[in-house]
Structure 1
Amino acid sequence: MTPPTGAGLAAAAAALAAEAARFAGLGWMRATSGNLSVVLRRDPLRLAVTASGGDKGELTAADVVEVDDAGRLVAAVSAARPSAEAALHARIAAVTGAGSVVHLHTLACVRAAARQPRGVEFAGLEMLKALGRPADGEATRLPVVANSQDMAVLGDAALAALEPGVPAFLVAGHGMYAWGEDLRAARRHAEAVDWLCALAHEA
């Protein structure tokens, strides 16, 4: 195993641990679920990703690993290992140009996807602006894809379903993936998606 990528990985790990605690406090990363990532560099693609199996409310910088463009472990400061979902983080970052990807298990997203399995549409809502979408005019569609334990299958389905300009999708019976130019933008998009899905479920 190669040593971690120095200060870049250390800073990313600290940010991801803090963000994981924040999401866990919202109940969006319960029972070790979910994972977060930030891009460390583009060529070759390398990401810092929260490790598999840890309580996301108690992560430290040692619970973040570096992976390559296929989600394979490149470096770690402990015995931590990446989740299989790290491969999907890498694919999303490569295809969309995102600097950060968050995968969260929010009840609102699971419920909305169950009620509208062909995609959840929104229009006339100010919250859409948080996704970079207009509040009026044409509806914004949030894609829903079938879940799979095979990350290649899930990744193919997700990337085929992406809507232009919509930085998120839902996975049926699972949760959401959202992304942005950095961790703060990914957080903003995730919060907007959860709010929209909660509204869709209650409507």
Structure 2
Amino acid sequence: MTAVPVRAPEVGDAGRMLAAESARYAALGWMRGTSGNLSVRLSADPLVLAVTASGLDKGELTAADIVLVDRDGAALPDQPGPARRPSAEAGLHARIAAVTGAGAVVHLHALPAVLAAERWPAGVPLRDHELLKGLGRGADGDLVTVPVVPNSQDMRVLGDAFQKVWRPDVPALLVARHGVYVWGDDLRAARQYLESLEWLLRFVTAAG
């Protein structure tokens, strides 16, 4: 009897979407080496995520290169497909999905995010930029502060730090000297937020 509360076709669809989206970000230079990870929610109760597998070139993933994890980021038993290890950051993906209700979480090591977190460790202020509309915010007079938390190799510590600074109107988190997490209802929504935020962070770090 399987412990995975989702159907094989759903898992296959999730794998194909995650592979395609990973290839997109790798082509942009945002998932260098084997860095970064993406997830989609397959079940809310119990929480089950499909997460990109660890240690693989994100520009070359196949639909089979995913792992199903529970609300703690631990791999579920009796999974379809080859045995893979989940990303070390799967626990933070799961915490973000559980707290925000997100259908997808994207984590990248894009350089502007790391530079911005270094420059504004208390949170990155963004205001009066047209691309704030891409975050669902106003382009005139609407202050958006992207939260920053210290890095940790312990996902429970990072999850607690995220939960302390999380605001429902800012779908992003910067982890100092690490990268950015963005989430949305699905991968397409997360992509919109991420691409808008990456441009904004490039602008403010270049402008000083």
Q: TM-score, normalised by structure 2?
A: 0.94
Pick from 158, 165, 187: which aligns with 2:162? 158
Task: Tell me which amino acid in the other structure corresponds to 2:141.
Answer: G
- Deviation string, structure 1 residues 111-153 (Cα, Å, up to 9, x no partner): 1111111111011111001111111123110011100011111
Partner of 1:148: 152
Task: Tell me which amino acid in the other structure corresponds to 1:49.
Answer: V
Q: Are 2:63 and 1:93 equivalent residues in the alignment?
A: no
Q: How far apart, in 2, do the equivalents of 1:156 and 1:193 lie?
A: 23
Superposition pairs of residues 67-146 of structure 1, within 5 angstroms? 67-74=69-76, 75-146=79-150
Q: 1:76 to 1:110 in 2, by over 3 A?
A: farther
Q: How far apart, in 1, do the equivalents of 2:108 and 2:197 lie?
A: 11
SS at match of 1:72: coil
Task: Tell me which amino acid in the other structure corresponds to 2:190.
Answer: A
Q: CA deviation at 1:2?
A: 5.4
Q: How far apart, in 1, do the equivalents of 2:80 and 2:113 lie?
A: 32
Q: How far apart, in 2, do the equivalents of 1:105 and 1:76 lie?
A: 29
Pick from 25, 29, 32: which aligns with 1:30? 32
Query: Does structure 1 conserve the Cα–Cα contact (< 8 Å) formed by 2:135 and 2:170?
Result: yes
Q: How far apart, in 1, do the equivalents of 2:80 and 2:177 lie?
A: 31
Partner of 2:52: 50
Q: TM-score, normalised by structure 1?
A: 0.96
Name the Cα RMSD after superposition: 1.3
Query: Does structure 1 conserve the Cα–Cα contact (< 8 Å) formed by 2:91 and 2:155?
Result: yes
Pick from 168, 171, 180: which aligns with 2:172? 168
Query: Does structure 1 conserve the Cα–Cα contact (< 8 Å) formed by 2:30 and 2:110?
Result: yes
Unaligned runs of 5+ in 1: none
Percent of residue pairs bearing the same amino acid type? 59
Query: Does structure 1 conserve the Cα–Cα contact (< 8 Å) formed by 2:100 and 2:168?
Result: no
Partner of 1:65: 67
- Deviation string, structure 1 residues 82-102 (Cα, Å, up to 9, x no partner): 012111111101110100000
Count of equivalent residues: 203
Q: How far apart, in 1, do the equivalents of 2:7 and 2:68 lie?
A: 8
Q: How far apart, in 2, do the equivalents of 1:9 and 1:121 lie?
A: 38
Pick from 21, 41, 44: which aligns with 1:19? 21
Task: Tell me which amino acid in the other structure corresponds to 2:29.
Answer: G
Q: How far apart, in 1, do the equivalents of 2:122 and 2:167 lie?
A: 13
Task: Tell me which amino acid in the other structure corresponds to 1:154.
Answer: L
